[in-house]
C-alpha cells in the first residue's frame, strides 16, 4: 500500500460572519511524516483540524490520496482520525471498555480476539495497561489524556489529527508520547498533524512545521528553516534567540515580548 497523502487547497472556515481561516494551502503531507501546527492562541488551529476531519464545512478542498475527503466512507481508515483538545468522558466505563468502544465505533459491535489484542497492545504502547480496569472518573487529567490518545491509536488510522495531545501531561510523559507518535508515524506510515505550543518540542519531534498567523499560513517547511528569530518576532511578538544545545538541536529561548504593556508600565513609573 502506498503511503497516504493529505493536501489542503485554499481551505477557509468561518463561524457566521467571523472568518477564522483564510485560504489555507499546504504541500502534500505524506504517511511517515509528522507536521506540527503552531501559532498563537485563537489563531485557528483547532478549527483547521475540525475542518480536515469533516466536522465543519467551508470553501476549499481537503484531499486524501488526491480525492476529496468527503468522498471516503465513514469507516475507511484513510478518513482523518481527530483527537480534540477536550474529549467527552463516560465515567462509568473502565479504561479498557472505553478504548474498546473507540475501536468498534465504526466497525460494528461484535468483539473478537483481534479487537481485544489491539486494545491490549495500544494500552501497552502508552504504558497505561495497569489502568485497564480503572473507571475513567477515577483518573487524573493526564491519565485521561493518555486514554484519549489510546482511543485514537486503537483505530489504526492512516491520518491522525492531534490537537494539543500533551497539554495535561508531565514532562516525562510528553517526551514519551511525542517519541511514540514520531516512531509510529515512521513504522506504520501514519500522516500526523499535531498542534503544539512548545516550539522546542515542535523542532525536535516533527518533520515539518506549519505556522498560522491571523488565520493564514505564515510559513511551512522544515523546522530549522521555519522556527527563526524573525518568525517568532512577526508571529508570536517575542524577541527570541535560536541557540544550539549540546546534542546539536536548535533551542528556542524567548527573552521578552515586543508589546509594551502600557498601562502596567505607566503605573510602575508613577509609583
Question: Mind listing the pLDDT tens digit for each residue in 129-177?
Answer: 999 999 999 999 999 999 999 999 999 999 999 999 999 999 999 999 9
**pLDDT reported for residue 9:** 97
Q: CA torsion 151→207→197→234, rounded to 10°?
A: -150
Average pLDDT over residues 35-44: 96
Does residue 50 register a pLDDT over 70?
A: yes
Percent of the chain with pLDDT over 90: 80
**pLDDT reported for residue 260:** 77
Average pLDDT over residues 174-201: 96
Name the band, by pLDDT with cuts 50, 70 and 90, for residue 104: confident
> Mean pLDDT in the chain?
91
* Contacting residues for 77 by C-beta, under 8 A, at least 6 apart: 155, 156, 157, 158
5-80+157-222, CATH topology level: Rossmann fold (3.40.50)
**pLDDT reported for residue 269:** 62
**pLDDT reported for residue 268:** 59
Name the band, by pLDDT with cuts 50, 70 and 90, for residue 108: low
**pLDDT reported for residue 111:** 81
Contacts 24+ apart (CB under 8 A), 219-225: 220/26, 220/27, 223/36, 223/250, 224/250
Inter-residue contact 126 to 150 (CB < 8 Å):
yes
CATH 3.40.50.300 in the chain: give the residue spans: 5-80+157-222
Does residue 271 register a pLDDT over 90?
A: no
| Whether this model's pTM surpasses 0.75 | yes
Does residue 262 register a pLDDT over 90?
A: no
Pairing of strands 191-195, 34-38: parallel
Walk across the sheet containing 29-30 and list its strands: 29-30, 5-9, 61-64, 67-68
**pLDDT reported for residue 112:** 82
**pLDDT reported for residue 261:** 67
**pLDDT reported for residue 23:** 96
- CB atoms closer than 10 angstroms to residue 166: 25
Question: Mind listing the pLDDT tens digit for each residue in 195-248?
Answer: 999 999 999 999 999 999 999 999 999 999 999 999 999 999 999 999 999 989
The three-point CA angle 40-189-106 to 5° equals 85
Average pLDDT over residues 83-112: 82
How far apart are alpha carbons 258 and 61 in whole angstroms? 36
How far apart are alpha carbons 267 and 224 in whole angstroms? 40
**pLDDT reported for residue 33:** 97
Does residue 263 register a pLDDT over 60?
A: no
Amino acid at each position: 500500500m502506498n503511503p497516504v497523502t493529505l493536501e489542503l487547497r485554499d481551505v477557509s472556515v468561518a463561524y457566521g460572519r467571523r472568518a477564522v481561516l483564510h485560504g489555507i494551502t499546504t504541500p502534500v503531507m505524506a504517511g511517515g511524516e509528522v507536521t506540527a501546527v503552531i501559532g498563537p492562541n485563537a489563531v485557528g488551529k483547532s478549527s483547521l483540524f475540525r475542518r480536515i476531519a469533516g466536522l465543519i464545512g467551508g470553501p476549499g478542498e481537503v484531499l486524501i490520496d488526491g480525492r476529496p475527503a468527503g468522498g471516503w466512507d465513514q469507516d475507511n481508515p484513510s478518513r482523518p482520525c481527530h483527537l480534540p483538545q477536550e474529549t467527552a468522558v463516560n465515567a462509568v466505563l473502565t479504561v479498557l471498555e472505553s478504548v474498546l468502544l473507540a475501536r468498534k465505533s465504526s466497525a460494528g459491535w461484535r468483539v473478537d480476539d483481534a479487537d481485544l489484542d489491539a486494545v491490549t497492545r495500544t494500552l501497552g504502547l502508552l504504558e497505561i495497561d495497569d489502568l485497564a480496569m480503572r473507571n475513567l472518573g477515577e483518573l487524573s487529567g493526564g491519565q485521561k489524556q493518555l486514554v484519549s490518545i489510546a482511543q485514537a491509536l486503537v483505530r489504526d488510522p492512516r491520518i491522525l489529527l492531534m490537537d494539543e495531545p500533551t497539554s495535561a501531561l508531565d514532562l516525562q510523559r510528553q517526551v514519551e508520547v511525542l517519541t511514540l507518535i514520531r516512531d509510529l508515524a515512521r513504522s506504520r506510515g501514519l500522516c500526523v498533524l499535531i498542534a503544539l505550543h512548545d516550539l522546542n518540542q515542535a523542532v525536535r519531534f516533527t518533520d515539518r512545521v506549519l505556522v498560522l498567523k491571523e488565520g493564514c499560513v505564515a510559513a511551512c517547511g522544515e523546522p530549522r528553516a521555519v522556527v527563526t528569530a524573525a518568525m517568532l518576532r512577526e508571529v508570536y511578538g517575542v524577541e527570541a534567540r535560536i541557540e544550539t544545545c549540546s546534542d546539536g538541536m536548535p533551542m528556542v529561548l524567548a527573552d521578552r515580548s515586543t508589546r509594551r504593556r502600557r498601562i502596567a508600565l505607566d503605573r510602575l513609573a508613577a509609583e
